[in-house]
Chain A
Amino acid sequence: MTDRSWLPLLRRYGSVVVLALVVVVASVAFDTFATFDNFRNIAIQSSFPAIVALGMTFVIISGGIDLSVGSVFALGGVVAAYGSRWGTVPALGLSLGIAGVFGLINGLLIARTRLAPFIVTLATLLAGRGLLLSITEEGSHTYLVPRDSFFTLLGQGSIFGIGFPVWLTLFLFAVAGIVLHHTGFGQCTFAVGGSEEAANLMGLPVVRTKIGVYLLSGLLAGLAGALNAARLSSGVTILGVGLELDAISAVVIGGTLLAGGSGHATGTLAGVLLLGVIQNSINQIGTLNSSYQAVISGLFLVVVITVQTALGERRTR
């Protein structure tokens, strides 16, 4: 039996290494890349997709997928902007509340019926968009966050010169790491994704775990949306389209297997940063079409997935 103990190491740190490489290359290639300001920008811009991708990490480790995060993100933002007129707590409360409802719907449908997560979250994606339209008069109304409210600080404030969302993101990722590796829920997530049959036979709370990961994904997406609204001081309605793809890409590039059962929060963070750095680099070049980022993302995806498959990480039938 080949000793493939280097494989988990590769999966865990591969994306970090690539990230480091790309950063080095970009620093050498562009004068304006390796500045504190630029890094700070990259960090804050990446923090919102990072929070969404964190939730997606849990879902994918459990063997599922959540296509509705884009809609929930947008909903979270709009609802937070709406609720901000009454204060920060109502703003957050409303957005997390509605995000939680969507997450619960996903989780319940997926865990209780045998419907594919793909289809269920596709439906909630559509339903979410629909709800979004209906509460913003078909997308025309943008709720504004009252200026100078505490809520805006959440998105625009900074500590030691680094934006609050960045600190929050780091905090959330740290907590997620602990949850994944030091709690029963985390272990169950891996087990369910690795072999649901075995998890069932071992008597693990499979249904509860599944509901939990989708709930978590929804909440995090909603939180990210609320923070984004705080940063923009408004609930923009057209956001979030395609966000789920960015999140999935980041998670997969970060080394988490789409088939489930294996993954790291660190990898996802590296994946998000990698995509952010690439985007930033393309902007640095200035003359290149920003859409190159999508092409490169696509290429990265193909390479990572091919390598994963070739190394035998295929989902067993």
Chain B
Amino acid sequence: MADAQRVDRARILAWLQDYGVYIAVGALLLVNALITPNFFSVANIQTQAVQVAPVVIVALGMALVIGTEGVDLSVGSSMALAAAVLPLYLGYGAGVAIAVALAAGAGAGLVNGALVAFVGIQPILATLALLVGGRGLALVVADGQLKQIENPALLSLGAEDIAGIPILVAFALVLTLGVAFLVKKTTFGRHLVAVGDNRVASQLAGLPVGRVLVGVYVLSGLFAALAGVLASARLTASDPSSIGNLIELSAITSVVVGGTPLSGGSIRVVGTVMGALLMQLLRATLIKHDLPDSAGQMTQAVIIVLAVYLTRERAT
């Protein structure tokens, strides 16, 4: 009897873990539809989307890392590095500058990956070191200064639309599709999931575990760098001291709330996006009703604990 009850409870919890975030997002949208004037205006939708896009991009990379049972605390610093490097190379054209910025992020990811995969350092520690050192490096490179961006090509990335969608948002959408494809349909993605689910079995089956691990951290750094470039473009300034601050927390929250377990082995791409959206909507709802930011942060805290608790129940 107790067994049957336990099975039911497990099934409900599992369902909540997978789909809870959709319900929450839906509920928030509904609430706003009812009590917030002009919530569904095009202007507002665009604003919300643009604000959440960088978080989504970073969270997508974070989801890949968490899928291998790891974590990447250094994403904010990778953003800062990219932002710092950007103005230095704009003289060669926007394309080159962006490429170097992306390379910087990927480089940070490479260091993370090597430390985790080949030296065997715990992901928290390795990415912690990059977190501390990376932002410092970014500030050194930028000489601690905020620099205005005047390059028109770059600025257009932040300001213009494609087919009515802000470019930032378009990037986020494309990346979401890309990561979904990666996870579901590529050998690398399937290897990733296998490694996260059962590393020993994957090793015995001859999977290139080291390469997979390095790969996810490189991707995470790369995505963070992209977010840094886009955010700077929108901000029309490169501000390495404040860009990406605490974004690792937002990213981890989005991933966890979206139903991806910290223990790895299963990645919910759309869920991650929903998780980011949920947090964004939460904040927006509070702001629009003059509720203090503090309430938002506290609610976020509760949501994280709930989400992880639900995930933990599943892992047996």
Contacts and interface: CB of A to CB of B under 8 A. Distances in A.
A305 B133 contact: no
Contacts of B143: 289
Contacts of B137: 291, 294-295, 298
B131 interface: yes
Interface string B132-176: 111111111001100000000000000000000000000000000
A96 interface: no
A310 B119 contact: yes
A131 interface: yes
A309 B121 contact: yes
Given A113-B309, A291-B136, A258 B125 contact: yes
Contact of A302 (B71, B115, B124): B115
A143 B283 CA distance: 27
B119 A306 contact: yes
B269 interface: no
Interface in B184-200: none
Given A122-B252, A123-B301, A298 B136 contact: yes
Interface residues of B, number: 46
B271 to A, nearest CB: 17
Given A116-B308, A119-B305, A301 B144 contact: no
Given A113-B309, A131-B298, A301 B140 contact: no
B140 A130 contact: no
Majority secondary structure of chain B interface residues (helix, strand, loop or mixed): helix
Contacts of B131: 245, 298
B132 A294 contact: yes
A115 B312 contact: yes
B88 interface: no
Interface stretch (A132-140, A150-158, A162-170, A214-222): A132-140
Interface of B: 71, 115, 119-122, 124-126, 128-140, 143-144, 245-246, 249, 252, 256, 262, 292-302, 304-305, 308-309, 312
Interface of A: 65, 109, 113-116, 118-120, 122-127, 129-134, 138, 241, 245, 248-249, 252, 258-259, 289-299, 301-302, 305-306, 309-310, 314-315
Given A116-B262, A314-B120, 12 more contacts: A119-B308, A122-B304, A126-B249, A127-B297, A130-B294, A130-B300, A138-B294, A289-B140, A289-B143, A296-B136, A309-B120, A315-B122
